[in-house]
Structure 1
Amino acid sequence: MIWKVDRDLKITYISPADEKFRGYKADEVIGHHVFEMFTPESINIISEKIKQRLEAQQKGMNTEEFVTYEIQHRCKDGRLIWGEIISKPEYNASGEIIGFHGITREITERKAMQDRVQQLAFYDSLTKLPNRILLSERLSYMLAEMKRIQKYSALFFLDLDNFKSLNDTYGHSIGDLLLCQVAQRLQKCVREVDTVARFGGDEFVVILNTLHEDNQVSVEQAHRIAEKILQSVSALYVLNVSHNKSEEKLVEHKCTASIGVLVFKSAEKTPDDLLKQADAAMYKAKEAGKNKISFYEAPF
């Protein structure tokens, strides 16, 4: 789709391909503001691109190159499609921008494929939680941020105590149902800025970002959340073990957890260091009788 807009971002030309992609004839959009084509998020992206170009122009930088970005477009029937926009400004004799022109290609299928690849690469296929790869990336990012913010964070390593008995009795498909419910319960116990990840098997990891500047206050905050998780995970599970919808069979199962907690500040640690220390604390909770919380204590 080829298009042109004036300095006020009013559409002055659009090729017939727009009718194929979005369902609009040219006379339905010419004269209209280009923002009518996009979602609010897309409008923010375009506005930021224009702002960056103007700032670069004021600094004497070259702004005559094509700029490429991906945004969502509105269709006449209400659908949203993805488009890759390649745009360039038009100037008058005084060097002022008098409009833009460019090409838009639909990339909806490509975006869907990219999202699918991202999901497979970084998320657990069963629980939809971040997997170990994404967990490691988020830990690395958090460690870098902590040097700037100077607040404590916490890492929980959680292992289900009596998960194996459920698998042995009813099979792995029922165990999978329980793991999904555990994942949902964990997510409800933490903030949106925190991370809940599946480490593998019946092990989960929770990252609590930016707690407090004071160590003791941070420890108390982490302990409250760990207690909340312990109570939530240990609440009764009701699982549907039937394979036939007309003959529903429900099974009740009690499943507790052992939680290892590491409260830390960035001190040239690596993600592996953090995970090993939280894991060591979790094994202490196991040894203490399970269904407990154990904080990591550095050896003397």
Structure 2
Amino acid sequence: MNTETILIVDDDLASLRLLMEILTAEGYQVRPADSGELALAAVEAQPPTLILLDLLMPGMDGFEVLRRIKAREKSRAIPVIFLSAATETEHRVAGFKLGAVDFVSKPFQRDELLARVQTHLELFRLRTQLEQRAAELQSINERLLIAELAERKRSENALHESEQLLKLIIDTLPVGVWLMDAQGTVVSANPAGQQIWAGIRSVDIDHLEEYKAWRLDSNKQIEAREWAGARAVEKGETSLGEEIEIECFDGTHKIILNSALPIRGSDGRIKGAIVVNQDITARKAAEDEIKHLAFHDLLTQLPNRRLLLDRLHQAMAASARNGREGALLFIDLDHFKILNDTLGHHYGDLLLQQVAARLITCVREGDTVARLGGDEFVVMLEDLSGNPQEAAAQARIVGEKILATLNQPYWLSSYEHHSTPSIGVALFSDHRETVEQLFKRADLAMYEAKMAGRNALRFYVAVP
């Protein structure tokens, strides 16, 4: 059970409940507040360890709540993370100037939210430990003014222990921590940082391009002075959570979250920068896989019904704009059930995979081949002639090509198998029909092909 208390401030009750469920499930003690006034009262009554604060609320907004929290001695050290659907830079800059430690964009990702909360709780604990240790050292130094040389030695030992403790903490953090000096030279990196990059290169700011990286949003390579650490040293910028792809010193590629903040001396001048890296390669790969599975058939890797419907809506809208016809071809494998019943589903799956591969060879690159399920496939042709007769002729050419291709023998492991399709075709243009009507027309045409003896191609013809 975590002992940290997290105050969640959000006027959106659904978002408030969701945040409470996520954080409570992780063992945190959670207190809710649905307005700025209730939040300030909760902080005054019992200061929490961390605050998640909605930016845009009626009445007292997040900026005013943060301003009042930071104005009170009792609460000014509490780390505050803003929650906001707003992405404008000025909102983030204003938040950081008021003392916010981070931003989490709505709708938030659970893993990102938990990672940011954990990181700032850990930083808060470290800062508290260091402040307590610093206070102890200050007391020791005051006593040394009137103490013997032995007392001075004891103070030096305590300082050394503090430095070793800080080094131990940084070395055991699961994220990479890098230190740059005032000239922008890479001075050191903890073990996690060196593991992420497969080493360290102590180069100055003009040679930071040895650390090769590209921005995920634009695929643009990051130049030496575009690095977050370089900007922190030269411009005093704070950068948080930049997603970049890096080429490690061993040639491998990873995706990391890159953050940097300037280190300032007591005179306000920049003395260097701290750069933090977090390896999110596995997380990004999992996100991409989830997206792929949501829109593709697992067996054939073809687009599934969901992706087909999305593309079909776009194709019908494009047809209405440019006046060109499109066609939907329903393809059903004849006697597929007999194959499954006699040889088993393994052979059926092999046939479906080979059919999918052959269908792709029958269409243009911009057309779509999808699997609806079972032995049903759909081919969507776009950008056909604006003349319905010519478009039908073009669709017929593709349909006959599919017939000939799917009639060729299949080798299912060591077994030779012959299969035929029944194909129904429905043309579309100008949004004259709905997606549901178009599916029904192609399906009816396919059943006409079945009734004609199978292994046939039929077009939907409207009954007057």
**Which of 142, 158, 161 is the matching residue for 2:315?**
142
* 2:295 pairs with 1:126: no
Counterpart pick for 1:274 among 422, 434, 438:
438
Over 3 Å counting, the alpha-carbon distance change for 1:260 and 1:22 in structure 2 is: same
Determine the C-alpha separation between the residues in 2 that align with 1:239 and 1:211.
35
The answer as to whether partners of 1:3 and 1:13 remain within 8 angstroms in 2 is no
Structure 1 gap segments, 5+ residues each: 5-10, 48-63, 89-100, 241-249
User: Which of these residues, 175, 180, 194, is aligned with residue 348 of structure 2?
Assistant: 175
Which one of 186, 193, 214 corresponds to residue 387 of structure 2? 214
Give the superposition deviation at 1:233.
Answer: 0.8
Give the one of 136, 149, 156 matched to 2:329: 156
How far apart are residue 119 of structure 1 and its match? 2.8
1:257 pairs with 2:430? no
Q: Which residue of 2 aligns with 1:194?
A: 367
CA distance in 2 between partners of 1:120 and 1:114 (Å): 10
Structure 2 CA distance, aligned partners of 1:184 and 1:227? 17
1:102 and 1:269, CA in 2 relative to 1: closer, same or farther beyond 3 A?
farther
**Distance in 2 (alpha carbons) for counterparts of 1:288 and 1:112:** 48
CA–CA distance in structure 2, aligned partners of residues 258 and 24 of structure 1 = 60
With over 3 angstroms needed to count, the CA separation of the structure-2 counterparts of 1:38 and 1:201, relative to structure 1, is same
Write the distance in 2 (CA, Å) between the matches of 1:67 and 1:143.
42
The aligned residue for residue 291 of structure 1 is 455
**Contact 2:319 2:429 (C-alpha < 8 Å) held by counterparts:** yes
Write out per-residue CA displacement over residues 145-178 of structure 1, whole angstroms, 9 at most, x where no aligned residue: 3333332111110000121221121111111111
Residue identity opposite 1:135 in structure 2: L
Contact 2:178/2:193, CA 8 A, preserved across alignment: no
SS of the residue 1:109 aligns to:
helix
Which amino acid is 1:111 matched to?
K
Amino acid aligned to 2:291: Q
Which residue identity is paired with 1:31?
D
Shift of 1:214: 2.6
SS in 1 for 2:198: coil
Q: Contact 2:255 / 2:280 at 8 angstroms: preserved in 1?
A: yes
Q: Cα distance, 1:225 vs. partner? A: 1.0
In the TM superposition, 1:1-300 aligns within 5 A as: 12=184, 16=189, 18-27=193-202, 30-32=205-207, 34=209, 37-38=212-213, 42=216, 44-46=218-220, 70-84=243-257, 105-240=278-413, 250-300=414-464
Deviation of residue 205 (structure 1)? 0.6
1:205-255 Cα deviation digits (max 9, x unpaired): 111122233322222221111111111111001111xxxxxxxxx211110
SS in 1 for 2:383: coil
- Measure, in 2, the Cα distance between the counterparts of 1:255 and 1:280: 21
Higher relative contact order (CA 8 A, sep 6+): 1
CA positional deviation for 1:67: 8.6
Shift of residue 105, structure 1, vs aligned partner: 3.4
Q: What TM-score results when the alignment is normalised by the length of structure 1?
A: 0.74
Alignment CA distance shift 1:46-1:263 (3 Å):
same
Contact 1:261-1:294 at 8 Å conserved across structures: yes
2:449/2:458 contact within 8 Å kept? yes
- Where 2:202 maps in the other structure, the secondary structure is helix
Separation in structure 1 between the aligned mates of residue 373 and residue 177 of structure 2, nearest angstrom: 49
Structure 2: stretches of 5+ with no match in the other structure: 1-175, 222-236, 262-273
Root mean square deviation of aligned Cα: 3.2
Distance 2:205 2:422 in 1: 64
1:299/1:102 Cα in 2 relative to 1: closer, same or farther (>3 Å)?
Answer: farther
How many residue pairs match? The answer is: 258
The 1:126–1:258 alpha-carbon spacing in structure 2 relative to 1, beyond 3 Å, is: same
Where does residue 153 of structure 2 map in the other structure?
A: none
TM-score by length of 2: 0.50
Confirm or deny: 8 A CA contact 1:158 1:259 kept in the other structure. Answer: yes
Asked if the contact 1:199–1:205 (Cα under 8 Å) also holds between the matched residues in 2, the reply is yes
Residue identity opposite 1:228 in structure 2: K
Q: Which moved more, 1:189-198 or 1:209-218?
A: 209-218
